[in-house]
Chains A and B, each alone.
Chain A
Amino acid sequence: MTAFRIEPVGDCALLVGFGDHVDAGTSDRVHAFAHHLLDEPVAGQRDVVPAFTTVTLHYRPELAPPGTGSPYARMRAAVEARLAHDPGTRAGETRVFEVPVWYGGEAGPDLEDVALRCALTTAEVIDRHVRSAHRVHMLGFAPGFPFIGGLDPALSMPRRATPRTHIPPGSVAIARDQTCIYPLDTPGGWNLIGRTPLRLFDPDAAVPCLLEPGDALRFVPIDQAAYEDLLARQAGDAA
Protein backbone atom coordinates (compact mmCIF):
# COMPACT_ATOMS: atom_id res chain seq x y z
CA MET A 1 0.00 0.00 0.00
CA THR A 2 1.31 3.43 -0.87
CA ALA A 3 1.53 6.38 1.52
CA PHE A 4 -1.37 8.71 2.16
CA ARG A 5 -2.55 11.08 4.89
CA ILE A 6 -6.09 11.81 6.10
CA GLU A 7 -7.05 15.11 7.74
CA PRO A 8 -10.36 16.66 8.74
CA VAL A 9 -11.52 19.69 6.71
CA GLY A 10 -13.90 21.14 9.28
CA ASP A 11 -16.73 19.01 10.69
CA CYS A 12 -18.32 17.92 7.39
CA ALA A 13 -15.38 16.97 5.16
CA LEU A 14 -12.07 15.14 5.19
CA LEU A 15 -9.12 15.18 2.87
CA VAL A 16 -6.95 12.33 1.63
CA GLY A 17 -3.48 13.48 0.54
CA PHE A 18 -1.43 11.33 -1.86
CA GLY A 19 1.73 13.41 -2.13
CA ASP A 20 3.33 16.83 -1.83
CA HIS A 21 4.20 17.38 -5.48
CA VAL A 22 2.07 17.93 -8.54
CA ASP A 23 3.04 15.11 -10.87
CA ALA A 24 1.41 12.54 -13.13
CA GLY A 25 1.85 9.64 -10.68
CA THR A 26 0.18 11.50 -7.79
CA SER A 27 -2.54 12.70 -10.12
CA ASP A 28 -3.24 9.11 -11.25
CA ARG A 29 -3.73 7.99 -7.65
CA VAL A 30 -5.93 11.00 -6.87
CA HIS A 31 -8.24 10.29 -9.79
CA ALA A 32 -8.27 6.54 -9.22
CA PHE A 33 -9.40 7.05 -5.62
CA ALA A 34 -11.93 9.75 -6.55
CA HIS A 35 -13.48 7.43 -9.15
CA HIS A 36 -13.50 4.60 -6.65
CA LEU A 37 -15.52 6.74 -4.21
CA LEU A 38 -17.86 7.91 -6.97
CA ASP A 39 -18.46 4.32 -8.11
CA GLU A 40 -18.89 2.95 -4.58
CA PRO A 41 -19.81 5.77 -2.18
CA VAL A 42 -19.06 5.52 1.53
CA ALA A 43 -22.13 5.92 3.80
CA GLY A 44 -22.70 9.63 4.44
CA GLN A 45 -20.71 10.72 1.37
CA ARG A 46 -22.01 13.95 -0.16
CA ASP A 47 -19.42 15.08 -2.69
CA VAL A 48 -15.98 14.09 -3.94
CA VAL A 49 -13.49 16.74 -5.03
CA PRO A 50 -10.19 15.63 -6.55
CA ALA A 51 -7.48 18.29 -6.71
CA PHE A 52 -3.76 18.21 -7.64
CA THR A 53 -2.59 15.94 -4.81
CA THR A 54 -5.72 15.41 -2.70
CA VAL A 55 -9.25 14.04 -2.71
CA THR A 56 -11.70 15.89 -0.47
CA LEU A 57 -14.72 13.91 0.66
CA HIS A 58 -17.68 15.98 1.86
CA TYR A 59 -20.01 14.07 4.15
CA ARG A 60 -23.07 14.40 6.35
CA PRO A 61 -22.04 13.53 9.92
CA GLU A 62 -25.55 12.35 10.79
CA LEU A 63 -25.31 9.71 8.05
CA ALA A 64 -21.77 8.47 8.82
CA PRO A 65 -21.25 4.69 8.96
CA PRO A 66 -22.31 3.04 12.24
CA GLY A 67 -19.67 2.22 14.86
CA THR A 68 -17.95 3.86 17.79
CA GLY A 69 -16.35 7.27 17.95
CA SER A 70 -17.17 10.58 16.32
CA PRO A 71 -18.65 10.77 12.82
CA TYR A 72 -15.18 11.87 11.64
CA ALA A 73 -13.54 8.82 13.26
CA ARG A 74 -16.07 6.55 11.54
CA MET A 75 -15.71 8.24 8.14
CA ARG A 76 -11.94 8.07 8.50
CA ALA A 77 -12.05 4.36 9.32
CA ALA A 78 -14.27 3.73 6.31
CA VAL A 79 -11.88 5.64 4.04
CA GLU A 80 -8.85 3.81 5.46
CA ALA A 81 -10.57 0.51 4.78
CA ARG A 82 -11.08 1.59 1.16
CA LEU A 83 -7.46 2.69 0.85
CA ALA A 84 -6.28 -0.68 2.19
CA HIS A 85 -7.60 -2.09 -1.08
CA ASP A 86 -5.56 0.39 -3.07
CA PRO A 87 -7.48 1.09 -6.26
CA GLY A 88 -4.06 1.90 -7.77
CA THR A 89 -4.27 3.91 -10.93
CA ARG A 90 -6.60 4.02 -13.88
CA ALA A 91 -3.99 4.61 -16.56
CA GLY A 92 -5.63 2.05 -18.86
CA GLU A 93 -8.99 3.81 -18.60
CA THR A 94 -7.85 7.39 -19.21
CA ARG A 95 -10.12 9.24 -21.62
CA VAL A 96 -8.28 11.10 -24.35
CA PHE A 97 -9.77 14.28 -25.82
CA GLU A 98 -8.65 16.15 -28.90
CA VAL A 99 -8.93 19.88 -28.42
CA PRO A 100 -8.74 21.89 -31.65
CA VAL A 101 -7.00 25.23 -31.10
CA TRP A 102 -6.61 28.29 -33.31
CA TYR A 103 -3.22 29.51 -32.06
CA GLY A 104 -2.04 33.12 -32.16
CA GLY A 105 -3.57 36.10 -33.91
CA GLU A 106 -6.60 37.61 -32.24
CA ALA A 107 -7.29 34.20 -30.64
CA GLY A 108 -3.96 34.19 -28.81
CA PRO A 109 -2.89 37.78 -28.22
CA ASP A 110 -0.06 36.75 -25.86
CA LEU A 111 1.55 34.15 -28.17
CA GLU A 112 4.23 36.50 -29.50
CA ASP A 113 5.04 37.76 -26.01
CA VAL A 114 5.33 34.16 -24.76
CA ALA A 115 7.67 33.31 -27.66
CA LEU A 116 9.80 36.36 -26.94
CA ARG A 117 10.12 35.56 -23.24
CA CYS A 118 10.91 31.89 -23.92
CA ALA A 119 13.42 32.81 -26.69
CA LEU A 120 11.49 30.66 -29.16
CA THR A 121 9.62 31.35 -32.38
CA THR A 122 5.81 31.31 -32.20
CA ALA A 123 5.86 28.13 -34.31
CA GLU A 124 8.16 26.51 -31.75
CA VAL A 125 5.85 27.54 -28.90
CA ILE A 126 2.89 25.98 -30.69
CA ASP A 127 4.88 22.85 -31.48
CA ARG A 128 6.02 22.43 -27.87
CA HIS A 129 2.49 23.04 -26.59
CA VAL A 130 1.04 20.47 -28.98
CA ARG A 131 3.66 17.88 -28.02
CA SER A 132 3.27 18.28 -24.23
CA ALA A 133 1.59 15.37 -22.38
CA HIS A 134 -1.45 17.27 -21.09
CA ARG A 135 -3.60 15.92 -18.30
CA VAL A 136 -6.55 17.55 -16.51
CA HIS A 137 -5.45 17.76 -12.85
CA MET A 138 -8.63 19.36 -11.57
CA LEU A 139 -11.55 21.59 -12.46
CA GLY A 140 -12.14 24.69 -10.39
CA PHE A 141 -12.11 28.50 -10.31
CA ALA A 142 -15.23 28.54 -12.50
CA PRO A 143 -17.63 25.83 -13.74
CA GLY A 144 -15.81 23.59 -16.22
CA PHE A 145 -12.45 25.41 -15.84
CA PRO A 146 -9.66 22.81 -16.25
CA PHE A 147 -6.19 23.10 -14.70
CA ILE A 148 -4.09 21.05 -17.14
CA GLY A 149 -0.66 19.73 -16.14
CA GLY A 150 2.16 18.44 -18.32
CA LEU A 151 3.25 21.68 -20.00
CA ASP A 152 6.73 21.61 -21.58
CA PRO A 153 9.03 23.27 -18.97
CA ALA A 154 10.47 25.48 -21.75
CA LEU A 155 7.08 27.25 -21.85
CA SER A 156 6.88 27.88 -18.10
CA MET A 157 6.24 31.53 -17.30
CA PRO A 158 4.47 33.61 -14.67
CA ARG A 159 0.95 34.97 -14.99
CA ARG A 160 0.51 38.41 -16.50
CA ALA A 161 1.23 41.28 -14.10
CA THR A 162 -2.19 42.79 -14.80
CA PRO A 163 -5.06 40.35 -15.26
CA ARG A 164 -7.58 40.98 -18.04
CA THR A 165 -11.10 41.81 -16.93
CA HIS A 166 -12.70 39.84 -19.78
CA ILE A 167 -11.41 36.73 -21.47
CA PRO A 168 -13.32 35.30 -24.45
CA PRO A 169 -14.78 31.82 -23.79
CA GLY A 170 -12.65 29.00 -25.21
CA SER A 171 -9.39 30.87 -24.66
CA VAL A 172 -6.43 28.53 -24.16
CA ALA A 173 -3.83 30.00 -21.83
CA ILE A 174 -0.62 29.05 -20.03
CA ALA A 175 1.03 30.06 -16.75
CA ARG A 176 3.74 28.37 -14.70
CA ASP A 177 3.66 24.65 -15.46
CA GLN A 178 0.04 24.50 -16.60
CA THR A 179 -2.45 25.17 -19.37
CA CYS A 180 -6.03 26.23 -18.80
CA ILE A 181 -9.10 26.81 -20.95
CA TYR A 182 -11.57 29.55 -19.99
CA PRO A 183 -15.09 28.09 -20.39
CA LEU A 184 -16.95 31.35 -19.67
CA ASP A 185 -16.27 35.05 -20.04
CA THR A 186 -14.39 35.68 -16.80
CA PRO A 187 -11.46 37.83 -15.66
CA GLY A 188 -8.09 36.09 -15.73
CA GLY A 189 -4.33 36.55 -15.63
CA TRP A 190 -3.00 33.64 -17.70
CA ASN A 191 -1.16 34.16 -21.02
CA LEU A 192 -3.58 33.66 -23.92
CA ILE A 193 -2.04 31.60 -26.74
CA GLY A 194 -5.12 30.41 -28.64
CA ARG A 195 -8.80 29.59 -28.63
CA THR A 196 -10.84 26.40 -29.00
CA PRO A 197 -14.35 26.20 -30.47
CA LEU A 198 -15.21 23.39 -27.99
CA ARG A 199 -17.89 24.30 -25.49
CA LEU A 200 -16.57 23.15 -22.13
CA PHE A 201 -19.58 23.95 -19.97
CA ASP A 202 -23.32 23.94 -20.65
CA PRO A 203 -25.49 23.81 -17.50
CA ASP A 204 -28.53 22.60 -19.45
CA ALA A 205 -26.76 19.68 -21.17
CA ALA A 206 -27.18 16.12 -19.93
CA VAL A 207 -23.42 16.14 -19.22
CA PRO A 208 -22.72 19.80 -18.33
CA CYS A 209 -18.92 19.50 -18.31
CA LEU A 210 -17.06 18.18 -21.32
CA LEU A 211 -13.88 17.41 -19.38
CA GLU A 212 -13.36 15.43 -16.20
CA PRO A 213 -10.43 15.43 -13.82
CA GLY A 214 -7.95 12.82 -15.03
CA ASP A 215 -8.68 13.23 -18.76
CA ALA A 216 -5.70 13.32 -21.13
CA LEU A 217 -5.79 16.09 -23.76
CA ARG A 218 -4.22 16.47 -27.19
CA PHE A 219 -4.21 19.99 -28.59
CA VAL A 220 -4.59 20.07 -32.38
CA PRO A 221 -3.70 23.27 -34.27
CA ILE A 222 -6.40 24.58 -36.62
CA ASP A 223 -6.67 27.81 -38.60
CA GLN A 224 -9.22 30.59 -38.18
CA ALA A 225 -11.50 29.19 -40.94
CA ALA A 226 -11.63 25.76 -39.28
CA TYR A 227 -12.24 27.41 -35.91
CA GLU A 228 -15.20 29.37 -37.25
CA ASP A 229 -16.54 26.34 -39.10
CA LEU A 230 -16.41 24.18 -35.95
CA LEU A 231 -17.95 26.96 -33.88
CA ALA A 232 -20.83 27.34 -36.36
CA ARG A 233 -21.40 23.59 -36.50
CA GLN A 234 -21.49 23.38 -32.71
CA ALA A 235 -24.01 26.24 -32.58
CA GLY A 236 -26.08 24.34 -35.18
CA ASP A 237 -26.01 21.19 -33.03
CA ALA A 238 -27.12 23.15 -30.01
CA ALA A 239 -30.08 24.74 -31.84
Chain B
Amino acid sequence: MKIDVIKPGALSQLQDLGRWGHQRFGVPVGGAIDTWSHQLANLLAGNTGDEATLEVLLMGPSLRFDTGTWIALCGGDLSPRIGAEAVPMHRRVWVAAGSQLDFGKRVDGLRTYVAVRGGFDVAPVMGSRSTFVRGGFGGFQGRGLRKGDVLDTGDAGTAPPSGASDRAFAVVPVPGFDVDPQVPSAAPGSVTVVRVVRGEHWDGFTAEAQAAFPEATYRLSPQSDRMGYRLEGPALARRQPGELISEGVTFGTVQVPPDGQPIVLMAERQSAGGYPKIAHVASVDLPLLSQLAPSQSLRFEPVTLEEAQDLLLERETRLAALRRVQQAFDESSP
Protein backbone atom coordinates (compact mmCIF):
# COMPACT_ATOMS: atom_id res chain seq x y z
CA MET B 1 0.00 0.00 0.00
CA LYS B 2 1.01 3.63 -0.37
CA ILE B 3 0.89 6.75 1.76
CA ASP B 4 0.75 10.18 0.12
CA VAL B 5 2.47 13.05 1.87
CA ILE B 6 -0.04 15.89 1.54
CA LYS B 7 1.93 18.14 3.92
CA PRO B 8 5.39 17.28 5.32
CA GLY B 9 5.19 18.89 8.78
CA ALA B 10 8.17 20.55 10.51
CA LEU B 11 10.49 17.55 10.21
CA SER B 12 9.15 14.06 9.58
CA GLN B 13 11.75 11.36 9.01
CA LEU B 14 11.93 7.58 9.01
CA GLN B 15 13.83 6.03 11.92
CA ASP B 16 14.54 2.59 13.34
CA LEU B 17 16.79 1.53 16.24
CA GLY B 18 19.84 2.91 14.47
CA ARG B 19 22.89 2.17 12.40
CA TRP B 20 24.94 0.18 14.90
CA GLY B 21 28.35 -1.26 14.05
CA HIS B 22 29.71 1.63 11.98
CA GLN B 23 30.76 4.13 14.64
CA ARG B 24 34.40 3.23 14.10
CA PHE B 25 34.05 4.72 10.61
CA GLY B 26 32.64 7.95 12.05
CA VAL B 27 29.09 7.03 11.08
CA PRO B 28 26.64 8.09 13.83
CA VAL B 29 24.23 5.47 15.18
CA GLY B 30 21.25 7.80 14.80
CA GLY B 31 17.87 6.09 14.87
CA ALA B 32 14.73 6.97 16.81
CA ILE B 33 15.55 9.48 19.56
CA ASP B 34 12.70 8.02 21.68
CA THR B 35 13.32 4.29 21.29
CA TRP B 36 10.56 3.37 23.77
CA SER B 37 7.78 5.05 21.78
CA HIS B 38 9.25 3.78 18.50
CA GLN B 39 9.16 0.19 19.79
CA LEU B 40 5.69 0.51 21.31
CA ALA B 41 4.35 1.91 18.04
CA ASN B 42 5.78 -0.99 16.08
CA LEU B 43 4.29 -3.57 18.47
CA LEU B 44 0.87 -1.90 18.46
CA ALA B 45 0.83 -1.78 14.66
CA GLY B 46 1.53 -5.52 14.69
CA ASN B 47 5.18 -5.44 13.61
CA THR B 48 7.43 -8.08 15.13
CA GLY B 49 10.75 -6.70 13.89
CA ASP B 50 12.43 -3.31 14.06
CA GLU B 51 10.52 -1.68 11.20
CA ALA B 52 11.11 1.97 10.40
CA THR B 53 8.56 4.33 11.94
CA LEU B 54 7.92 7.95 11.03
CA GLU B 55 9.39 10.30 13.66
CA VAL B 56 7.25 13.43 13.60
CA LEU B 57 8.53 16.63 15.21
CA LEU B 58 6.22 19.18 16.85
CA MET B 59 4.12 20.15 13.82
CA GLY B 60 2.95 16.94 12.23
CA PRO B 61 2.45 16.04 8.58
CA SER B 62 -0.75 15.23 6.68
CA LEU B 63 -0.70 11.68 5.36
CA ARG B 64 -3.29 9.97 3.12
CA PHE B 65 -3.62 6.17 3.12
CA ASP B 66 -4.57 4.62 -0.24
CA THR B 67 -5.58 1.30 1.33
CA GLY B 68 -7.00 0.21 4.67
CA THR B 69 -4.26 -0.72 7.15
CA TRP B 70 -3.19 -0.75 10.80
CA ILE B 71 -1.29 2.08 12.40
CA ALA B 72 -0.25 3.20 15.88
CA LEU B 73 0.79 6.60 17.25
CA CYS B 74 3.10 6.69 20.28
CA GLY B 75 5.14 9.27 22.17
CA GLY B 76 4.25 12.94 22.45
CA ASP B 77 0.62 13.90 21.80
CA LEU B 78 0.50 16.28 18.82
CA SER B 79 -3.31 16.10 18.50
CA PRO B 80 -3.61 13.51 15.76
CA ARG B 81 -6.98 13.39 14.01
CA ILE B 82 -8.73 11.88 11.02
CA GLY B 83 -11.39 14.21 9.71
CA ALA B 84 -12.76 16.03 12.76
CA GLU B 85 -12.27 13.13 15.12
CA ALA B 86 -9.24 12.73 17.45
CA VAL B 87 -7.21 9.55 16.98
CA PRO B 88 -6.17 8.13 20.37
CA MET B 89 -2.48 7.78 21.18
CA HIS B 90 -0.95 4.45 22.23
CA ARG B 91 -3.67 2.30 20.70
CA ARG B 92 -3.96 0.02 17.68
CA VAL B 93 -5.91 1.88 15.01
CA TRP B 94 -7.33 0.65 11.72
CA VAL B 95 -7.51 3.38 9.06
CA ALA B 96 -9.75 3.12 6.01
CA ALA B 97 -8.64 3.59 2.41
CA GLY B 98 -8.66 7.30 1.56
CA SER B 99 -8.40 8.46 5.19
CA GLN B 100 -6.16 11.41 5.91
CA LEU B 101 -4.20 11.67 9.16
CA ASP B 102 -3.55 15.23 10.31
CA PHE B 103 -1.94 16.70 13.40
CA GLY B 104 -2.75 19.81 15.41
CA LYS B 105 -1.64 21.46 18.60
CA ARG B 106 1.04 19.99 20.83
CA VAL B 107 -0.51 18.60 24.01
CA ASP B 108 2.66 17.12 25.49
CA GLY B 109 6.01 15.70 24.40
CA LEU B 110 7.84 16.75 21.26
CA ARG B 111 7.73 13.82 18.85
CA THR B 112 5.11 11.31 17.75
CA TYR B 113 6.06 7.96 16.20
CA VAL B 114 3.77 6.75 13.43
CA ALA B 115 4.06 3.01 12.84
CA VAL B 116 2.29 1.24 9.99
CA ARG B 117 1.70 -2.48 9.61
CA GLY B 118 4.58 -3.98 7.64
CA GLY B 119 6.75 -0.92 8.17
CA PHE B 120 7.81 1.77 5.71
CA ASP B 121 9.45 0.10 2.76
CA VAL B 122 12.80 1.76 2.12
CA ALA B 123 16.14 0.08 1.40
CA PRO B 124 18.47 -0.24 4.38
CA VAL B 125 21.76 1.68 4.10
CA MET B 126 24.62 0.21 6.16
CA GLY B 127 22.14 -2.09 7.86
CA SER B 128 19.57 0.51 8.92
CA ARG B 129 16.54 2.36 7.58
CA SER B 130 17.19 5.42 9.75
CA THR B 131 17.45 8.77 8.08
CA PHE B 132 20.73 10.64 8.56
CA VAL B 133 19.84 14.10 7.28
CA ARG B 134 23.28 15.69 7.75
CA GLY B 135 24.89 12.79 5.87
CA GLY B 136 22.13 12.75 3.25
CA PHE B 137 21.56 9.00 3.35
CA GLY B 138 19.23 6.41 4.85
CA GLY B 139 15.46 6.49 5.32
CA PHE B 140 13.49 8.09 2.51
CA GLN B 141 16.11 9.53 0.13
CA GLY B 142 18.31 10.61 3.03
CA ARG B 143 16.03 13.47 4.06
CA GLY B 144 12.87 14.52 5.84
CA LEU B 145 9.57 14.14 4.00
CA ARG B 146 8.43 16.69 1.43
CA LYS B 147 5.05 17.47 -0.04
CA GLY B 148 4.20 15.01 -2.80
CA ASP B 149 6.39 12.16 -1.54
CA VAL B 150 4.80 8.72 -1.77
CA LEU B 151 5.80 6.18 0.88
CA ASP B 152 5.47 2.45 0.30
CA THR B 153 4.66 0.14 3.18
CA GLY B 154 5.12 -3.59 3.61
CA ASP B 155 1.38 -4.24 4.02
CA ALA B 156 -0.82 -5.14 1.05
CA GLY B 157 -3.87 -3.67 2.77
CA THR B 158 -6.26 -4.96 5.40
CA ALA B 159 -10.04 -5.26 5.43
CA PRO B 160 -11.88 -3.30 8.12
CA PRO B 161 -12.47 -4.96 11.50
CA SER B 162 -16.08 -5.96 12.16
CA GLY B 163 -18.41 -3.01 12.59
CA ALA B 164 -15.96 -0.48 11.09
CA SER B 165 -16.77 -0.81 7.39
CA ASP B 166 -18.38 2.64 7.20
CA ARG B 167 -15.83 4.42 9.36
CA ALA B 168 -12.68 6.42 8.55
CA PHE B 169 -10.86 4.68 11.38
CA ALA B 170 -11.47 2.32 14.28
CA VAL B 171 -9.64 1.63 17.54
CA VAL B 172 -9.01 -2.05 18.13
CA PRO B 173 -8.21 -3.05 21.71
CA VAL B 174 -5.26 -5.35 22.31
CA PRO B 175 -6.16 -6.88 25.71
CA GLY B 176 -3.29 -6.76 28.20
CA PHE B 177 -1.27 -4.25 26.18
CA ASP B 178 -1.18 -1.50 28.77
CA VAL B 179 1.46 1.10 27.99
CA ASP B 180 3.06 3.62 30.28
CA PRO B 181 4.04 6.54 28.05
CA GLN B 182 7.33 8.20 29.00
CA VAL B 183 6.41 11.80 28.31
CA PRO B 184 7.32 14.81 30.50
CA SER B 185 4.56 16.87 32.06
CA ALA B 186 3.62 19.84 29.88
CA ALA B 187 2.37 21.85 32.89
CA PRO B 188 3.96 25.31 33.03
CA GLY B 189 6.90 25.39 35.43
CA SER B 190 7.21 21.62 35.66
CA VAL B 191 10.71 20.24 36.19
CA THR B 192 11.37 16.80 34.72
CA VAL B 193 13.69 14.60 36.78
CA VAL B 194 16.25 12.73 34.69
CA ARG B 195 18.41 10.12 36.38
CA VAL B 196 22.15 10.09 35.70
CA VAL B 197 25.24 8.07 36.55
CA ARG B 198 28.65 9.66 37.12
CA GLY B 199 30.86 10.28 34.15
CA GLU B 200 34.54 9.46 33.74
CA HIS B 201 35.60 13.06 34.41
CA TRP B 202 33.36 13.77 37.44
CA ASP B 203 36.41 14.08 39.72
CA GLY B 204 37.86 16.75 37.43
CA PHE B 205 35.05 19.20 38.22
CA THR B 206 35.19 21.72 41.08
CA ALA B 207 33.39 21.06 44.38
CA GLU B 208 30.97 23.86 43.42
CA ALA B 209 30.17 22.17 40.12
CA GLN B 210 29.72 18.79 41.79
CA ALA B 211 27.33 20.36 44.30
CA ALA B 212 25.42 22.34 41.69
CA PHE B 213 24.98 19.56 39.13
CA PRO B 214 22.34 17.49 41.01
CA GLU B 215 20.66 20.55 42.58
CA ALA B 216 20.34 22.95 39.68
CA THR B 217 17.47 23.30 37.28
CA TYR B 218 18.53 23.37 33.64
CA ARG B 219 16.49 24.69 30.76
CA LEU B 220 16.53 22.99 27.36
CA SER B 221 17.89 25.45 24.79
CA PRO B 222 16.14 25.96 21.44
CA GLN B 223 19.58 25.16 19.92
CA SER B 224 18.90 21.48 20.54
CA ASP B 225 18.42 18.79 17.95
CA ARG B 226 18.69 15.04 17.39
CA MET B 227 22.46 15.31 17.82
CA GLY B 228 22.57 17.08 21.16
CA TYR B 229 20.43 18.74 23.81
CA ARG B 230 22.03 22.00 24.92
CA LEU B 231 21.20 23.02 28.46
CA GLU B 232 21.15 26.47 30.05
CA GLY B 233 21.83 26.88 33.76
CA PRO B 234 24.66 27.14 36.27
CA ALA B 235 28.04 26.84 34.53
CA LEU B 236 30.06 23.78 35.54
CA ALA B 237 33.77 24.51 35.98
CA ARG B 238 36.68 22.09 35.97
CA ARG B 239 39.50 22.18 38.49
CA GLN B 240 42.03 22.42 35.69
CA PRO B 241 41.07 23.51 32.23
CA GLY B 242 42.86 21.89 29.34
CA GLU B 243 42.18 19.72 26.36
CA LEU B 244 41.38 16.03 26.66
CA ILE B 245 42.11 13.32 24.14
CA SER B 246 38.96 12.42 22.17
CA GLU B 247 37.38 9.16 23.29
CA GLY B 248 34.10 7.26 23.10
CA VAL B 249 30.78 8.86 24.01
CA THR B 250 27.30 7.40 24.02
CA PHE B 251 23.59 8.25 23.86
CA GLY B 252 23.02 10.31 27.01
CA THR B 253 26.61 11.43 27.65
CA VAL B 254 26.54 14.79 29.45
CA GLN B 255 29.60 16.65 28.23
CA VAL B 256 30.72 20.09 29.33
CA PRO B 257 32.42 22.41 26.81
CA PRO B 258 34.61 25.29 28.06
CA ASP B 259 31.63 27.63 28.57
CA GLY B 260 30.41 25.28 31.32
CA GLN B 261 26.91 24.79 29.86
CA PRO B 262 26.25 21.04 29.59
CA ILE B 263 25.25 19.28 26.37
CA VAL B 264 23.52 15.89 26.44
CA LEU B 265 24.51 13.82 23.42
CA MET B 266 21.44 12.34 21.75
CA ALA B 267 20.63 9.81 19.00
CA GLU B 268 22.66 11.42 16.20
CA ARG B 269 25.76 12.11 18.32
CA GLN B 270 29.29 11.70 17.01
CA SER B 271 31.03 8.47 17.97
CA ALA B 272 33.75 10.21 20.02
CA GLY B 273 34.33 13.57 21.64
CA GLY B 274 36.93 15.55 23.52
CA TYR B 275 34.87 17.45 26.08
CA PRO B 276 34.86 16.22 29.70
CA LYS B 277 32.04 13.84 30.57
CA ILE B 278 30.50 14.82 33.89
CA ALA B 279 27.68 12.25 33.74
CA HIS B 280 25.59 9.99 31.53
CA VAL B 281 21.79 9.94 31.48
CA ALA B 282 20.46 6.57 32.63
CA SER B 283 19.27 4.84 29.45
CA VAL B 284 15.88 4.17 31.02
CA ASP B 285 15.24 7.95 31.11
CA LEU B 286 16.43 8.79 27.58
CA PRO B 287 12.91 8.45 26.11
CA LEU B 288 11.61 10.93 28.69
CA LEU B 289 14.46 13.38 28.00
CA SER B 290 14.02 13.05 24.25
CA GLN B 291 10.39 14.18 24.60
CA LEU B 292 11.33 17.33 26.54
CA ALA B 293 10.61 20.45 24.49
CA PRO B 294 12.83 23.53 24.19
CA SER B 295 12.35 25.95 27.15
CA GLN B 296 11.16 23.13 29.41
CA SER B 297 13.22 22.42 32.53
CA LEU B 298 14.94 19.39 33.97
CA ARG B 299 16.93 18.37 37.01
CA PHE B 300 19.52 15.59 37.23
CA GLU B 301 19.14 12.92 39.90
CA PRO B 302 22.26 10.80 40.52
CA VAL B 303 21.82 7.03 40.75
CA THR B 304 24.42 4.28 40.88
CA LEU B 305 25.41 2.34 37.78
CA GLU B 306 23.82 -0.79 39.32
CA GLU B 307 20.52 1.06 39.84
CA ALA B 308 20.58 2.41 36.28
CA GLN B 309 21.18 -1.04 34.85
CA ASP B 310 18.48 -2.62 37.04
CA LEU B 311 15.99 0.00 35.80
CA LEU B 312 16.97 -0.69 32.21
CA LEU B 313 16.62 -4.46 32.66
CA GLU B 314 13.12 -3.88 34.13
CA ARG B 315 12.24 -1.80 31.07
CA GLU B 316 13.50 -4.56 28.74
CA THR B 317 11.49 -7.16 30.69
CA ARG B 318 8.40 -4.97 30.32
CA LEU B 319 8.98 -4.64 26.58
CA ALA B 320 9.42 -8.41 26.24
CA ALA B 321 6.10 -8.94 28.09
CA LEU B 322 4.30 -6.49 25.78
CA ARG B 323 5.81 -8.28 22.77
CA ARG B 324 4.40 -11.59 24.02
CA VAL B 325 0.95 -10.03 24.53
CA GLN B 326 0.99 -8.59 21.01
CA GLN B 327 2.20 -11.79 19.39
CA ALA B 328 -0.31 -13.99 21.23
CA PHE B 329 -3.10 -11.59 20.21
CA ASP B 330 -2.07 -11.43 16.57
CA GLU B 331 -1.66 -15.20 16.32
CA SER B 332 -5.17 -15.74 17.69
CA SER B 333 -6.77 -13.05 15.49
CA PRO B 334 -7.77 -13.75 11.94
Contacts and interface: CB of A to CB of B under 8 A. Distances in A.
A62 interface: yes
Interface stretch (A80-88, A115-123, A136-144, A225-233): A136-144
Nearest to A211: B25
Given A9-B248, A10-B308, A46-B20, 17 more contacts: A8-B200, A10-B197, A10-B251, A10-B281, A49-B272, A52-B246, A55-B248, A56-B247, A70-B306, A71-B309, A71-B313, A72-B306, A138-B246, A139-B24, A139-B26, A140-B271, A145-B26
B283 A10 contact: yes
Contacts of B270: 140-141
Interface string B241-277: 0000111111111000000000000000011100001
B115 interface: no
B137 interface: yes
A10 to B, nearest CB: 3
A61 B247 contact: no
A10 B252 contact: yes
A144 B137 CA distance: 14
A213 B24 contact: yes
Interface of A: 7-13, 15, 17, 20, 22, 34, 46-56, 58, 61-62, 70-72, 138-145, 147, 184, 201, 203-204, 208-209, 212-213
B12 to A, nearest CB: 21
Which of A10, A141, A203, A209 has the most chain B CB atoms closer than 10 A to its own CB? A10
A72 B29 CA distance: 21
B204 to A, nearest CB: 13
Given A141-B26, A208-B27, A209-B25, A11 B305 contact: yes
Given A10-B252, A72-B309, A144 B26 contact: yes
Contacts of A208: 22, 25, 27, 126
B214 interface: no
Contacts of A49: 23-24, 248, 271-272
